[in-house]
Chain A
Amino acid sequence: MSFDNAYESLLGHEDAHWAFGTGFSEPLSGVNREFPAGVDRDALAAYCLMLGDDALIFSQRLSEWCSRAPELEEDIALANIALDLLGQARMLLTRAGEVLGKDEDALAYLRDEREFRNVHLAEIDCGPGPGGDFGTTIARLLVFSSWRLALFSRLRGSADPVLAAVAEKGLKELAYHRDHAAQWTVRLGDGTDESHRRMQAGLERVWPFVDELFATHPVEAALTGVAVDPASLRSEVDGVLTAVLSAAGLTRPADTKAARVAGMAGRDGVHTEAMGYLLAEMQHLHRSLPGAVW
């Protein structure tokens, strides 16, 4: 229908000036979606869920800052990062869904906690809830974006055209995320005594979850040429983190590892206690009205 809107004349109908177009739909439109020959599609779907869930759950955590950030500029920046990650999640879940016969929403809203494959780092409360503060949030963002940026720069060469396209697009976004986190790490580390103390505490809070980022999962090991082996990222990411922490005058925490449960962690659907609550909130409306279209 046409809008009898006093502003219609000014608006025009080209969507070019909207950051995401007016649709926000069809996450993979325009991307080559052929499956490369000889690739185990179930393993590919599982891998897409891992990377997609990391982005979806971290995006959910970041969006909790909306209207709670220390200044307006930061409200905008954190929402922006959350939106970028949500965009990546939608593409990856859509790709997984092509194999599993489900759409992005069925995968986001109708899987249970034990079926989510994100790393623990993405799901823990780092603030604005009681589990952290802005410094903790920046510490997580620094670690996560440094790791994902290193991962995506290699994923550009994936034999799967969708993963390669997601990586190509995501690379620019992640470079911005990492830069933003690095700048704040330096500002807080080299700001006041209070901000230094809090930034250091934030690093200590997230550090036990770093090791999981570099653990090779059987799915990744099976997808040679398609997936990136996270173990191969460790030295690059370490180098980045060391450089940023040194510029900020912060101390690298001791390399403690959170214990696994019967050898399992996030990639196997074994999560922290925070995850159930996060999903209850995220999924409740979708599950309350089964079959509704939004």
Chain B
Amino acid sequence: MADDLELRFERTVQAEARIEPRDWMPDGYRKTLIRQIAQHAHSEIIGMQPEGNWISRAPSLRRKAILLAKVQDEAGHGLYLYSATETLGADREDLTTKLIEGRQKYSSIFNYPTLTFADVGVIGWLVDGAAICNQVPLCRTSYGPYARAMIRICKEESFHQRQGYELLMTMMRGTQQQRDMVQDSVNRWWWPALMMFGPPDAESTNTEQSMAWRIKRDTNDELRQKFVNMSVPQAEALGVTFPDPDLKWNPERGQYDFGSPDWDEFWQVVKGGGVCNQQRIAHRRKAHEDGAWVREAAAAHAAKQAVSKEGAA
């Protein structure tokens, strides 16, 4: 019997069809997905902070509106993804607890600080660009609710990427001070953006099983290469350079060769030693704890309403 279920699951996945919440699935598949989608949701929520840092100081009303809308979109993405996780039997409150207790991760890119307004544009261009490269294949991932959430999210991310790039274009046409600001920001974000694809394939523990289950469709290094190939012409159009002396076109491979990120720094940030790790979690924890009385009030009020409805019936 169990073998039949397993067999049917395997066939569904191999045939590129979708697994839906009521379908049988292996425990490992369920656990892997809960971990991955929750981390993805946490990343959206923590990711509100670095950019939210500039809403009050945005230098034009148009940029303020764009940034506010973008950070609002990220909250929406977090919401979609927590909902997708709940279809697997997880609970949003419990996932939030795991995040603020450091038991679940989020993308380590958000542990880097936003120091100038150019960072808002560079995050849109490079960080959202890397996220899109990572996430477009997930629109065809084997778990239906996750795939559908990714389609909506990728559309909006794509839009954010364009807006970030447009901000940088505007700044590059501006004063020398603005151009220097953009280049400085690119210098600080380029390597962390490359690290967003995760460790090199040789050191990536989850890849093989995730590929077999069609959760993941490309390796970290394949996606990283694709991102570099995409970004170099965009940098040229913008008039900025990437801080990598080894970056050059390789006609034999038909791709760009590029240097290796500082993986020691990567692991240090992943393990909690980045500039902002503690600050990001403390911020999220404070919002959650300060809001507890509000959530309790909403629940108490809903319960009272339910009782009075019953009485009226």
* Chain A interface residues toward B at CB < 8 A: 1, 3-8, 10-11, 18-20, 22, 24-25, 56, 60, 63-64, 66-76, 79-80, 82-83, 86-87, 89-90, 93, 104-105, 108-109, 128, 133-134, 186-188, 190-192, 194-195, 198, 281-282, 284-286, 289, 291-294
Q: Which residue of B lies closest to A10 (CB)?
A: B155
Q: List 6 A-B contacts (CB under 8 A).
A: A6-B136, A69-B291, A75-B75, A190-B301, A289-B178, A292-B174
Q: Does B251 contact A (CB under 8 A)?
A: no
Asked, given contacts A20-B69, A187-B301, whether A282 binds B158 with beta carbons under 8 Å apart, the answer is no
- How many Å from the CB of B4 to the closest CB on chain A? 37
Q: Is the CB of B295 within 8 A of A5?
A: no
Nearest residue in A to B64 (C-beta to C-beta)?
Answer: A86
Q: A60-B56, A192-B300 are in contact. Are A70 and B167 (CB under 8 A)?
A: no
B24 close to chain A: CB less than 8 A? no
With contacts A72-B45, A72-B78, A79-B72 taken as known, whether A109 is within 8 angstroms of B59 at the C-beta atoms is yes
Assess whether A195 is in contact with B293, with CB atoms less than 8 Å apart.
yes
What is the minimal beta-carbon distance from B216 to any residue of chain A, in angstroms? 16
Q: Which residues of B contact A6 (CB under 8 A)?
A: 132-133, 136, 226, 230
Give the number of chain B interface residues (Cβ < 8 Å). 70
Would B287 and A3 count as touching, CB distance under 8 A? Answer: no
Which A residues lie within 8 Å of B75 (CB)?
67, 72, 75-76, 79
A94–B289 Cα distance when bound, in Å, is: 41
| A5 and B230 contact, Cβ closer than 8 Å, known pairs A83-B65, A294-B60 | yes
What 8 pairs across the A-B complex have the smallest Cβ distances? A70-B291, A191-B297, A195-B297, A70-B294, A79-B72, A294-B60, A67-B48, A7-B158
Contact A294 B79 (CB under 8 A): no
Check A281–B65 contact: CB distance below 8 A.
Answer: no
In the bound complex, do residue A289 and residue B296 qualify as a contact, i.e. CB atoms below 8 Å apart?
no
Enumerate chain B residues within 8 angstroms of A198, measured Cβ to Cβ. Answer: 293
- Residue of B71, B157, B177, B300 most packed against chain A (CB within 10 A): B300
CA distance A69 to B177 in the complex (A): 36
Across the interface, which residues of A come within 8 angstroms of B56, CB to CB? 60, 63-64, 281-282
B120 to chain A, nearest CB (A): 10
Question: Among the listed B129, B175, B226, B284, which residue makes an inter-chain contact with A289, where contact means beta carbons less than 8 Å apart?
Answer: B175
CB within 8 A of B178: which of A25, A56, A72, A292?
A292
Least CB separation from B233: chain A residue: A4
Contacting pair A10 B72 (CB below 8 A): no
Tell me, in angstroms, the Cα distance from A8 to B132 when the chains sit together: 11
CB contacts (< 8 Å) of B25 on chain A: these are: none
Complex-state Cα separation, A19 to B56, whole angstroms: 21
Instruction: Report the minimum CB–CB distance from B1 to chain A (whole Å).
Output: 41
Chain A CB within 8 A of B304 CB: yes
Decide if A187 touches B159 in the complex (CB within 8 Å). no
A75-B72, A108-B61, A195-B293 known; A289-B170 Cβ under 8 A? no
Between A4, A69, A292, the greatest number of chain B beta carbons within 10 A of the residue's beta carbon is seen for A292
